[in-house]
Amino acid sequence: MTLPLYVQGAWFTGALLFIFGLKGMSSPASARKGIVWAGYGMLIAIAGTFLVPGLKNIALMALALVIGGAAAWISGKRVKMTDMPQMVAIYNGMGGGAAAAIAAIEFAKADTHSAVVTTLAVLGALIGSVSFTGSCVAYAKLQGLLKKTYRLPAQNVVNVLLALTAIGLGGAMIVMAPAQPELILVFFAIALILGLIVTLPIGGADMPVVISLFNAFTGLAVGFEGYVLGNPALIIAGIVVGAAGTLLTQLMAKAMNRPISNILFTPMTGGGGAGEAIEGTMKELSAIDAAAMMRYASKVIIVPGYGMAVAHAQHKVWEMTSILEEAGVEVKFAIHPVAGRMPGHMNVLLAEAGVPYDKIFDLEEINGEFGQADVALIIGANDVVNPSARTDKSSPIYGMPILNADMAQNVIVIKRGKGTGYSGVENALFYTDNCRMLYGDAQPMAGHIIQHLKAMG
């Protein structure tokens, strides 16, 4: 059926706004505008869909939009900034699940399609199903509902067998199209189980990459199903999101110096990785000493990590930064690509606290400056500043690019306890002569430092 020009125009306009929106999201300065543009694009695309001649179930579609929109509005208003990673994960999963559901409905119709359309429907269903259940597991882990990693005996063999089974069933559905309902049900069951089994063993250290990977999966699934439905807005949006998610996943995997296959099939589960024995002891200092070191420094570089997010300390950290700057101290923030629980997690938290964009630097931009810093203040970060990644070939994180915090004249680490990071590797930085530990949650510790800074005038 040839669609009216106004419907095609609405979808095309929506697709263009999706592209402009994604472009805007590439920079913190324009990210808000990008989200608004993409939102308008979605509204226009939905409006165009309702104008399709002969459209059925309009009341059900409207009801779904009201329920989904209300749920998104309420959850978006209530979610804490520290809980944003799990919201991203579950919303991403819903996109993959929606793509799989579209394919399921098309299969249930038992209509005759071309081999190309059927193949894309099967691919979208497979990828969307894996993204759905995998994202649900990621959400449960980030939310604390799943506090352990679960690894089956011969885990990789099980992964491969499930994947081959799902691909084989999908191939059978293409050859036998329209497929029997029993075959369709078994195919979806295996695909959904595959998403669960692949994601359950993956620990927090790899979770940012996993979320990005499932985002790419969801985009591809949506693009494939857009072709099945003949909807150019879905095709363009899905391909753009899939491509962006794939590039981001590759960049983050590179930042960890780990191939994506290694993340999926040999995950860091936090079970205590191997590594050389570390000599020395951790040396503690007080909040007043930390305040004095930074107050009389010329340059301070702050390295935030997930510990800052857990403690909701970003506002206190920015208040502390403002006091130091008023005293003539140069302060910068250093962000590792995989700091936190999702891509850009630390950037979002700092922006929410009001930290200007020009004070936030990524690894490549800031690493050369640590050698000129009087103090490197590490707040709840661990693996991303571990010098063992440079020197210890037996370490699971060997070769991972790190922030060169150990090269600062003095290092202060605010940390809740003496435990290891998500990789399970002891941090050699904490035992160096220039490092001092300030134990406690980041928010009260930052508050104590602020009090002493104010007293110093």
Q: Which residues are catalytic?
A: 383
Question: Residue 27: which residues within 8 A CB-CB, separation 6 or more?
Answer: none
- Other C-beta atoms closer than 10 Å to the C-beta of 304 total 30
Quote the CA–CA distance of 243 and 220 in Å, as a whole number: 8
What secondary structure letter does DSSP report for 298? S
Q: Which of 60, 57, 15 is nearest to 38 (CA)?
A: 15
Sheet of 410-415, strands arranged across: 360-362, 330-335, 299-304, 375-379, 410-415, 435-439
Question: Residue 87: which residues within 8 A CB-CB, separation 6 or more?
Answer: 75, 76, 79
Token pair for residue 88? 């991203």
Say which residue the tokens 């050369």 belong to: 368
Helix, coil or strand: residue 299: strand
Helix, coil or strand: residue 45: helix
Q: Please spell the DSSP secondary structure of 218-250, one letter per residue.
A: HHHHHHHHHHHHT-HHHHHHHHHHHHHHHHHHH
Quote the CA–CA distance of 135 and 286 in Å, as a whole number: 41
Quote the CA–CA distance of 306 and 308 in Å, as a whole number: 5
Stated as kind and residue range, the H or E segment containing 24 is helix 5-24
- 194 to each of 65, 167, 186, 199, 232, how far by Cα in Å? 30, 11, 12, 9, 29
Quote the CA–CA distance of 360 and 407 in Å, as a whole number: 19
Half-sphere exposure of 111 (CA within 13 A, CB side): 12
Burial environment of residue 105 by CB neighbours within 10 A (0 to 12, 13 to 18, 19 or more): exposed
